[in-house]
Amino acid sequence: MTAHTDTAGTVTVVYKVSGMSCGHCEGAVSGEISGIAGVTSVKAVASTGEVTVVSAATLDDEAVRAAVDEAGFELVGRA
């Protein structure tokens, strides 16, 4: 899946993250990604390994990778 622009002018991207297994993991990943400038919403789901990120503009994948690494997990790529 590639990024898509919603009608409200926001960009939604779903990423695959490996290693999440619980709510604490979801919170750690969400917290780090939320710190990226322009991010308005993050929803991490450990059971699927998917993290949905809504932002005001397209994010740099390396910034997302760095945030996920900081949380202690691995960004596999876009879902």
Tell me how far CA of residue 54 lies from CA of 21, 74, in angstroms: 22, 19
Q: What is the pLDDT of residues 13-34, one digit of tens each?
A: 999 999 999 999 999 999 999 9
Residues 6+ apart with CB under 8 A from 65: 75
Q: Which two tokens stand for residue 13?
A: 């991207």
Q: What is the pTM of this model?
A: 0.91
Q: What is the pLDDT of residues 43-59, one digit of tens each?
A: 999 999 999 999 999 99
